[in-house]
Amino acid sequence: MKKIGILYGPEKGSVGKVANIIAKELGEDKAELVLVKDSGGQIIDRFDRIIFGISTLGRTNWDSEHEDDDWDGFFTHLKEAHWEGKQVAIYGLGDQINYPDHFVDAMGWLNEKLKKFNVKVVGFCEDEGYQYNDSEALENGKFVGLPLDEDNEAEKTLGRVQAWLKMLHEAYGF
């Protein structure tokens, strides 16, 4: 059985912390951590199941003066990947208090990029238990992945990750 690829960025901070939590919960023999900044589209071919980890940093993501980040480079390589038969889940970091109008928007942006390649994204989550005004990560009333807020609700992260991974395992074989 192939390992589950956990592709994430940025490396440091909450996204990396959660990537390591997910890898530990899945079992290190079942998961492989990969930084998107060090990857091209060919990395996708190594995995049948992929978990992407992305953050909505706030202003830097929608300010035209921001420098490229790890994901900007990776997005240019998505067309190189062979997506057929892949299952993809997304987790995203955001801040409900300081950016309530853009909570985990980056999950939505990633989902939209993946739709162009007919990628099957799984692991949608209800929006209950979150306090926000708006999010580009909502589709049909659900988040397109697991939203996490390490800035304001770090104590809920492990439980949310465990429940999400259980759902992914039972419904999709992750």
Phi, psi of 34 (to 5 degrees): -140, 125
The reported pTM is 0.92
**What's the sign of the alpha-carbon dihedral 84, 19, 30, 72?**
positive
- Other C-beta atoms within 10 Å of 94: how many? 30
Both tokens assigned to 162: 């465990």
Domains of the chain in sequence order: 4-172 (3.40.50.360)
pLDDT classification of 3: cutoffs 50, 70, 90:
very high
What are the tens digits of pLDDT across the range 31-74? 999 999 888 888 999 999 999 999 986 444 444 444 546 788 88
What are the tens digits of pLDDT across the range 90-100? 999 999 999 99
